[in-house]
Structure 1
Amino acid sequence: MNIPVNTIDTPRQEVVEVKELIGSLWDQRAIILLFTALTVTAAIAYALLATPEYEVETTVRPVPLADLDELNESGLYKLLPKDALNIIGSSMQSYDVRLKFFQANPQYLAPLQAPGQSIESAFETFNERAFSLEKIDPKKSSSLSEAVGLSLRYPQGVDGVGILRDFTDFVVKGEKEKVALNLKILIANRIDQAEKKLESKKSAYEAEKDSKIAHLLEKDQLKKQVLQDELKALRQQLQSRRQNRIKELDEAIVIAKKLGIVKPTTPSALGDGEQAHQGNMIRTEVNNQKIPLYFLGQAALEAERATLVARHSDDFTEPRIDEIQKELSLLATNREAALLKERNHPELFLKDFADISGELTHLKQLNVNFDQLKLVNVDKDATEPQAPIKPKKALIVGFGLIFGFMLGLGVAIIRRAVLSLHSSRR
């Protein structure tokens, strides 16, 4: 027994449904066009009423090494073109530097500043998305050298070109002033160090000179005291000798009186007495013993004793006393110490004076012309943009057209589905 089977032609049914959908959408074309027109109108209104935004940019590159030669030749400050570029880039990126620029130039933010709003608050809002800094690496780009690019987005009514130009000048001038101040501080510190070093050496020299003078004078004083002690001892010795001689003479005079010796004689002559001598006779007496002093006779002894008693000084009897007097006279003035005391310019006798003096002269005459000094080259200056970057009117209108058409289709499809549902329930 054969059972009949109902077959459904699926492709044909889908085609029929698509035709019905297209027909339904066509019937609702007014709705689709209405939504499309509304969104396009809104897009056109936005494109026309939105505040245009512009973008301007500037690029700075390193200067040749020769431009920084005057600064580097000072020997105190070393700055390479690459380092100068990094300093400028870092300063451009600094929030504090940007704020100081707008505080110094409030007219640039005046169009954006609400009534009663502070310059700091207006800057905070503007700075969030206005500045964009990019460092160009020649290894990662087509550029042949390093560079720093700074771009600025700003709404219509704001002098963006003036902001970027003046901000670049502000940064370069500020960093140049910092370099000048740093160099000035370094020079002042080096001068202070050199002067302190010179004063220290002068003080050390003065102390050494005073020590040497004191040593020389002390040495002379010691020698004087030794010589004076020797002189005193010699005089005491001579005086003692004279007194002893007087005592010897006194004893001899007593003996001579007792013997009746008035004039000088000899023991042999005294033994002969008053014997008469016939003819001419020459007597020679050889005796190894010392002849007693009283044989000189009373007259001679008394004369010598009187002379010794009347003597006021025995110095002439000792040659060493003359030598001591001479040495004491020479020690009265130490010529070396006197010359040391008379030195009015001690720096002339310092070993390192010429080097320190030369360094001081170099530092005091050191002068870098910062007016001619260039830290970076402004390779691309800020210029007026040809057209705004926002809003992009064609893109906005095109997007509004597509969105409106899609929205209209969506509304039409939903409306058809709702109507179909109501029909099936009936």
Structure 2
Amino acid sequence: MQDQPYRMVNDNNDEIDLRELIRSLWDQRWVIVGITAFITLIAALYAFLATPYYRVQSILRPVEVGVLDSLNATEVYELKPLEALSRVSGGLSSYGNRLEFFQTHEELFADLAREGLTAEQAFEDFNSEAFAMLYPDPKKNQGEFVGMALTYPASMDGVSVVNEFVAFVLQQERERVASDLAVVIANRKANIEQRIEAARASYQANKEAEIATLLEEAALKRAKLEDELRALRAELKIRRENRLNVLEEAIRIARSLGIRKPTTPTAMADAGQGVRTEITSREIPLYFLGVDALEAERDVLRARTSDDFVEPRIGEIQKELDMLRHNRQVEVLQQRQDEDLYLKELAKLREEAARLDGIEFDASTLQLARIDQPAQQPLKRLKPKRALVLALGVVLGGMLGVFVALMRNLLQPRRARPAH
């Protein structure tokens, strides 16, 4: 029971302190109101005098597949819609493209000039803060697109900057596609020319190899025929000499028998020459021709200068040698005029070159991306948000006013409390 008065005293002191605090704040209400009004005024000045900033954006989506048919129909350069959109995205994010656009459209960036900075430095600072690329959120089913957003001050025509820059990039990419196509065609044509030259060189090498082969075969055949001709002539000469030896023997036999004229064994027996010969072979011995006939043959053989007429093969060899003196196939190969006619692949290569020469592509009509949302004049500013700034000014001003009042209350000496 002794603790009760003590707690009552403490409770009374807390109540007195709170009442004094509220009374102190109320006594300094005009200080609080003044500070709140002052901070709110500063906030209002900022809200209404600060340069307003706006934000615009442009969204591009892939074109339909058929839109790129004119390019893909060339069969030398293929571009798919997503690849075309990727090229446009790269062009929009390229600092080089942005700087080039800035340099060619300085009238759109006239307010960027700052003291102590070059035009390029001012643009680089603006580029790092103002431009932003937009891509689809993987967690959302937004489809494929690419976009560009621009945050700009009210003194700048941001809508024109975004729309003209998008058009600038699309034109740049069209020109790059046309340039790439021209390079591909030129490379294809150069490759075809190289293949044609290679085909011609190969044809010449093959022709020369064929001529060399034909000449070699003809030379080999001529050498074989000449060897055969010499062998035949040598054989005929030996045969003639052998015949002469045979005739000499037969002449001696015929003289010893006294046979001058051709006769037969039967005729000699009937003539009473006392010769009785029984011939069992089918061929009558040569000496029965008589000395006169044998000597006549011997003399003729001795007087012969050539035995070629005896062997028919020699005539055939002479004929073949005469034909080999002029290799008509080699002459025809050497006398060819328009040798391109004999190149099998040349017609196809020339057809391909003619097709490449006939490609006519108008890049000005090429649509690489579809502008789904062009930049539009914004209906409200991005910053400063006046209502929010004023509300923050009132709240911060009130908090600061209360804080100042509390500090003043703490710094002032406490007044004597009335006794109870």
Q: Which residue in 1 is equivalent to 2:126?
A: 126
Residue 414 of structure 1: how far off its partner (Å): 1.9
Contact 1:36 1:403 (C-alpha < 8 Å) held by counterparts: yes
Contact 2:56 2:149 (C-alpha < 8 Å) held by counterparts: yes
The structure 2 residue matched to 1:221, chosen from 207, 219, 222, is 219
Residue 133 of structure 1: how far off its partner (Å): 1.6
Contact 1:59 1:381 (C-alpha < 8 Å) held by counterparts: yes
Residue 295 of structure 1: how far off its partner (Å): 1.6
Q: Which residue in 1 is equivalent to 2:188?
A: 190
Residues 304 and 116 (structure 1 numbering): CA distance in 2 closer, same or farther, change over 3 Å?
A: farther
State whether structure 2 residue 378 is matched by structure 1 residue 385.
yes
Scaled by the length of structure 1, the TM-score of the pair is 0.79
Contact 1:74 1:366 (C-alpha < 8 Å) held by counterparts: yes
Q: Which residue in 1 is equivalent to 2:401?
A: 408
Q: Which residue in 1 is equivalent to 2:156?
A: 158
Q: RMSD of the alignment, in Å?
A: 3.8
Counterparts of 2:111 and 2:68, CA distance in 1: 40
Scaled by the length of structure 2, the TM-score of the pair is 0.80
Matches within 5 A, 1:22-421: 22-115=22-115, 117-137=117-137, 140=140, 143=142, 145-242=143-240, 289-292=284-287, 295-297=290-292, 304=297, 307-308=300-301, 310-345=303-338, 348-350=341-343, 352-421=345-414
Q: Supply the AA of the counterpart residue of 1:384.
A: Q
Q: Which moves more between the two structures, 108-117 or 256-265?
A: 256-265
Q: Supply the AA of the counterpart residue of 2:362.
A: N
Q: Which moves more between the two structures, 16-25 or 68-77?
A: 16-25
Contact 1:55 1:388 (C-alpha < 8 Å) held by counterparts: yes
Q: Supply the AA of the counterpart residue of 1:37.
A: A
Counterparts of 1:422 and 1:127, CA distance in 2: 63
Contact 2:263 2:288 (C-alpha < 8 Å) held by counterparts: no
Contact 1:60 1:377 (C-alpha < 8 Å) held by counterparts: yes
Residue 395 of structure 1: how far off its partner (Å): 2.5
Q: Secondary structure at the match of 2:389?
A: helix
Counterparts of 2:380 and 2:137, CA distance in 1: 29
Contact 2:56 2:375 (C-alpha < 8 Å) held by counterparts: yes
Q: Which residue in 2 is equivalent to 1:279?
A: none
Residues 296 and 119 (structure 1 numbering): CA distance in 2 closer, same or farther, change over 3 Å?
A: farther
Residue 263 of structure 1: how far off its partner (Å): 5.8
Contact 2:61 2:371 (C-alpha < 8 Å) held by counterparts: yes
Counterparts of 1:334 and 1:4, CA distance in 2: 146
Residues 23 and 52 (structure 1 numbering): CA distance in 2 closer, same or farther, change over 3 Å?
A: same
Structure 2's unaligned 5+ residue stretches are none
Q: Supply the AA of the counterpart residue of 1:135.
A: Y
Counterparts of 1:86 and 1:150, CA distance in 2: 13
Q: Secondary structure at the match of 1:154?
A: strand
Residue 211 of structure 1: how far off its partner (Å): 2.6
Q: Which residue in 2 is equivalent to 1:21?
A: 21
Q: Secondary structure at the match of 1:136?
A: coil
Counterparts of 2:41 and 2:111, CA distance in 1: 29
Contact 1:55 1:151 (C-alpha < 8 Å) held by counterparts: yes
Contact 1:106 1:119 (C-alpha < 8 Å) held by counterparts: no
Encode CA deviations 1:255-287: one digit per residue, 9 max, x unaligned: 888998776566787899999xxxxxxxxx985
Encode CA deviations 1:17-46: one digit per residue, 9 max, x unaligned: 544434333332332232123222222222
